[in-house]
Amino acid sequence: MIRATIKEERCPMKKKEERVKYTKEFKQDAINMVIEQWYSANEVGRRLGVGQSNVSRWVREYRADQKDVAEGEIPRKELEAEIRQLKKENQRLQMEREILKKAAAFFAKESN
């Protein structure tokens, strides 16, 4: 069970607490303790030094992903990643279209 910490400094005037980022293995261990060993999320949180709400969220997300896989659907995380990628591509294509419009207008003026 490994945890990594990430410290983000945004403004030197404000002192912000360190944000802890948990590894996938750490989260999976916590989920397994709840699902397979029947510990409560509160107990797992106390044992691992993590908030109960974090453990509950991890378990809820895991169960939702497992439900999607069982129903033959694409997992939510994969859909969200695809949506992000498509939005980036859409933005790039819109920018290219604007450039082509300006180029067409430039060459139309030049030919007259």
CATH number for the domain spanning 60: value is 1.10.10
Cα 10 to Cα 6, 15, 20, 72: the distances in Å are 13, 9, 16, 43
- As a whole number of angstroms, the distance between CA 51 and CA 33 comes to 15
Count of domains forming the chain: 2
pTM summary value: 0.59
Are 103 and 67 in a shared domain? no
Give residue 16's domain range.
1-73
Beta carbons of 75 and 69 less than 8 angstroms apart: yes
Percent of the chain at pLDDT > 70 equals 86
Are 37 and 65 in a shared domain? yes
- Listed in sequence order, the residues at least 6 apart from 104 whose beta carbon sits closer than 8 Å to its beta carbon are none
Are 11 and 47 in a shared domain? yes
* Model pLDDT for residues 34-73, shown as the tens digit of each residue: 999 999 999 999 999 999 999 999 999 999 888 877 778 8
Are 95 and 61 in a shared domain? no
Which among 4, 41, 44, 35 is positioned nearest to 22, based on CA atoms?
4
Beta carbons of 61 and 85 less than 8 angstroms apart: no
